[in-house]
Amino acid sequence: MGNMQMNILHLSDLHFGSEADARLWFSQLADDLKTDLHCRVLSLLIISGDIANFS
User: pLDDT for 1-30, tens place per residue?
Assistant: 667 889 999 999 989 888 898 899 999 999
Q: Are 15 and 50 in contact (CB under 8 A)?
A: yes
**Which residues touch 13 (CB under 8 Å, ≥6 apart)?**
48, 49, 50
State the pTM of this model: 0.73
Tally of domains in the chain = 1
Range of the domain at 30: 8-48
Backbone phi, then psi, for 33, in 5-degree steps? Answer: -60, -45
Q: Is residue 30 part of a domain?
A: yes
Q: Is residue 19 part of a domain?
A: yes
pLDDT at 5: 87
Q: Is residue 55 part of a domain?
A: no
Q: Is residue 2 part of a domain?
A: no
pLDDT at 9: 95
pLDDT at 51: 87
